[in-house]
A and B are shown apart, each in its own frame.
Chain A
Amino acid sequence: MRTPAAGAPAIRTEGLTKRYGTVVGLDALDLQVQRGEVFGYLGPNGAGKTTTIRLLLGLLRPTAGRVEVLGVDAVADPRRAHRRLAYVAGDVALWPGLTGEETLHLLGRVHGSLDRAYRDELVERFELDPSRRVRAYSKGNRQKLALIGALMTRADLLVLDEPTAGLDPLMEQVFRACVREAAERGQTVFLSSHVLSEVEALCGRVAILRAGRLVSSGTLAEMRWDGALAVEASFDAGQAVPDVSAVPGVLDPVVDGAVLRCRVSGSVAPLLAALAAAGAVRVASREPTLEELFLAHYDQP
């Protein structure tokens, strides 16, 4: 058995495919997540995010392709891969008869690595009362319990599948702080989410999934560079607002009184020339938000 190369990526998939009969859950996914990065995995419900995660956990058998976790084949040797990984499901399933304390004990013991001091610190920061039974916890408290259970292992790779569904805004802040700390310590975080603000705040690189296929991936800066710029130009009252729909690169121009809004892909020079010629008094532009980038991938049929 070869030992995983120290430099192997945290996650690497090659042509990873899962079909359920004729339904395609995931279609030839090629993905690399480097060590130490916080990677955002985006997509609407049913796009294949959870299928990807269940494949990389070895819970599903791939129809085709390979998936490696920290250099270990996740299908052939899931146990070895899981010693260095911790997972939180979006729909947390724990044993209703166990108390929070018992659950954390179990998760720590079975995982094999546990930072007790950090566990106690996390329990405090997430304001969890670990003496109650799991069945008595609210959904948010169960989510906190699972998050503590994953973070306290200080595993090299954290696989988080929509981990903040059910957390209140305060706990969401605690979660973000914990993810940043994990990244600072060199842990890798694979964060599947459709909370775009969360991804924008935490992730360096992002992949967007649609109907089982990767439609875009890269750093947020790269994606913004590729995305259309939003431009807003104002004119004096009584001044004619020019028609810019024929200007190269201009998308979706909308005139609202004396204000023109549009998006520009590629160079802004032609538009600026047209606006200057028409005597615009103010021009503002901003980079697209992740939400706009995300939605742009789903507008097209």
Chain B
Amino acid sequence: MRSALVLGLAGGAVVGLAAEGYVLAYPDPADRAVVAASIGGNPGLAALFGTPRALETVAGFTEWRVLGVLPLVGAVWALLAGTAALRGEEDAGRWDVLLAGPRSRRATTGWGLAGLGLSLLVLAVATTVTAVGTGARALDLAGTLWTAAALLVAPAVLLAVAAVCSQLGGTRGQALQLGAAVLGAAYLLRVAGTAVDGLEWLGWLSPLGWVDRVAPLTEPDGLPLAVAGVATVALAGLGALLAGRRDAGAGLLAGRRPPRSRTALLSGSLGLAARLARGAGIGWLVGLAVVGVVLGLVAPTASEALADSQLDLGLPSAGVGGGVPAFLGAVFLLVTLLLTLQAAGQAAAARDEEEAGRLDTLLALPVGRLRWLGGRLAVGAALLAAGGVVAGVAAWAGTVLGDTEQPLGELVAAGLTPVPAALVVLGLGALVLGVAPRWTSLAAYGYVAAAFLLEILGGLFGLPEAVLGLSVFHQVPLVPAVDPEPATAVATAAVAALLAGAGSLALVRRDVSRD
């Protein structure tokens, strides 16, 4: 409920800020025409961020800017919140208490869905109010309301998807993986539908395609909203129906074959940390590989436009030359985001181990606190480095597929460039874990969100360098558009090490606590 409020406030504010930022950055119609021509004629950018319409207007640019990124954030929130509400409680055993009362599993799922509906309502109200408030000067009211409605499509549908996945998967983790696969497919369908002539109909199969078709600020259309509404209700109903057909603590898909014991890694706290990170880590690397290939594939078409103009997309790409490297340098921001989110997730997982009492079990063995935290941080850092390499190699593979092969070394360097920034997030997480453990997850994810917004919107408002520098995203050079900066990387990694060291010192001095 609280996360819905925060997301709604932030998402609504982005609507107004994007509009105001556009007015500030391109006051003059001639500039706006250049923006419109370069982005508008560019299938690559359209594929990544959605169909651009009337970019020479504040409304058109805002629509494209806002609907390119925020629905993805909303969708991820919906998967996390939905599986947590419908499976997290159950995995923790709290469901049994409810089911022991005079309530069926279907009714309990129904109540869970009702709670999620309430979260969605909070999200809707917060988004609408903030969007109207911040966008009042630059946008008309009707368009703003349409935009708020469009922003709700992805969270609503994905919450319902999460409800179905929660019945299919055997655990919350599996439900989340299924949901992530659905979201990935939805994104790829939307990309294909936007990028390939004759396949536009593919977009109708994807909730993200519906968002694209609402066109709230340019040519508002209610049909996709209606489709989304019907899909949400139908999927939620399906979820409740399936809930009556499975056992508590089990899933419809999983759990038939007996698990195989694999003890190879399980000989110490480092090995345990690696084993615990393995499943989700592999899924994340696959996702990163898909993103990398798509970025590499669309780079040639997208970069032509950038080469022609010193265009400020709100991505920090201006003034770094042109061509495929410039484009990749700019959009590797997305890779940075995925790496930092993973870092925040690793910090949150460490706190989760403490909160669930498993850390007690481990520390009652001859394992020191530093060894435990060190193992977790080492595994996290290794995963982040692997993510950087995978993203770079995948982007290279994408450019090969797209017939614009770039040097492999440069793209791997580009993939590794954001790793120190992600390490800072990991270090920050370790610091909060040591000092104020209850706030670990919120601080790590909250910092990533705040830093990302600062980076993509701060530039439009001409904020001073000292403020922009607070964002780790700002410390990531736009490789391959510019040369790697080993000094920056070392300095950033040193900051990360300092944060982690301070966190470790605090950890050994405090009580280990479940609350």
A residues neighboring B (CB under 8 Å): 54, 57-61, 78-80, 82-83, 85-87, 89, 91-99, 101-102, 105-107, 109-112, 131-133, 135-136, 146, 159
Contacts of A91 in B (CB 8 A): 357
Tell me the B479-514 residues at the A interface (CB within 8 Å).
509-512
B362 on the interface (CB 8 Å rule)? yes
**Chain A contact residues: over half helix, strand or loop, or mixed?**
mixed
Residue of B nearest to A149 (CB): B361
CB distance from A284 to the nearest CB of B (A): 45
Given contact pairs A95-B358, A99-B261, A111 touches B365 in the complex (Cβ within 8 A): yes
CB distance from B362 to the nearest CB of A (A): 7
Given contact pairs A79-B368, A93-B357, A109 touches B267 in the complex (Cβ within 8 A): yes
CB distance from B166 to the nearest CB of A (A): 15
CB distance from A260 to the nearest CB of B (A): 46
B102 on the interface (CB 8 Å rule)? no
Q: Is the CB of A89 within 8 A of B357?
A: yes
With A79-B367, A95-B276, A102-B266 given, can you name 5 additional A-B contacts, CB distance below 8 Å?
A78-B363, A93-B357, A98-B266, A102-B261, A110-B272
B residues neighboring A (CB under 8 Å): 91, 171, 173, 249, 255, 258-259, 261-263, 266-269, 272, 275-276, 279, 356-358, 360-368, 509-512
Q: How many A-B residue pairs have CB under 8 A?
A: 98
CB distance from A106 to the nearest CB of B (A): 4
Partner of A135, one of B249, B275, B509, B510: B249
Q: Can you pick out 12 interface pairs between chain A and chain B where the beta carbons lie within 8 Å of each other? A: A54-B512, A61-B511, A79-B366, A82-B366, A85-B364, A95-B276, A95-B358, A102-B263, A106-B266, A110-B272, A111-B365, A135-B91
Residue of A nearest to B170 (CB): A135
Q: How far is the CA of A87 from the CA of B477 in the complex (A)?
A: 50
Contacts of A146 in B (CB 8 A): 361
Partner of A93, one of B171, B267, B358: B358
Q: Is the CB of B259 within 8 A of A94?
A: no
Which 9 A-B pairs rank lowest in CB-CB distance, beginning with the nearest?
A93-B357, A87-B364, A106-B266, A101-B261, A59-B512, A105-B263, A82-B366, A109-B267, A110-B365
Q: How far is the CA of A105 from the CA of B263 in the complex (A)?
A: 7
CB distance from A166 to the nearest CB of B (A): 12
Contacts of A136 in B (CB 8 A): 249, 255
Most buried by A among B255, B269, B512: B512
Partner of B358, one of A83, A87, A94: A94
Q: How far is the CA of A42 from the CA of B482 in the complex (A)?
A: 69
Residue of A nearest to B510 (CB): A61
Q: How far is the CA of A54 from the CA of B276 in the complex (A)?
A: 25
Q: How far is the CA of A147 from the CA of B272 in the complex (A)?
A: 20
Most buried by A among B91, B362, B364: B364
Q: Is the CB of B259 within 8 A of A61?
A: no
Residue of A nearest to B263 (CB): A105
Contacts of A135 in B (CB 8 A): 91, 171, 249
Most buried by A among B173, B249, B261, B357: B261
Given contact pairs A78-B363, A95-B358, A131-B261, A110 touches B269 in the complex (Cβ within 8 A): yes
Q: How far is the CA of A101 from the CA of B358 in the complex (A)?
A: 17
Partner of B258, one of A85, A97, A131: A131
Q: How far is the CA of A45 from the CA of B510 in the complex (A)?
A: 24
CB distance from B250 to the nearest CB of A (A): 8
Q: How far is the CA of A4 from the CA of B357 in the complex (A)?
A: 30
Q: How far is the CA of A98 from the CA of B274 in the complex (A)?
A: 13
CB distance from B375 to the nearest CB of A (A): 11
Given contact pairs A97-B279, A106-B272, A57 touches B367 in the complex (Cβ within 8 A): no
Contacts of A102 in B (CB 8 A): 261-263, 266
Contacts of A54 in B (CB 8 A): 360, 512
CB distance from B261 to the nearest CB of A (A): 4
Given contact pairs A79-B367, A133-B259, A94 touches B249 in the complex (Cβ within 8 A): no
CB distance from B90 to the nearest CB of A (A): 10
Most buried by B among A80, A96, A112: A96
CB distance from B420 to the nearest CB of A (A): 31
Given contact pairs A82-B366, A135-B171, A136-B249, A97 touches B276 in the complex (Cβ within 8 A): yes
Q: Is the CB of A57 within 8 A of B258?
A: no
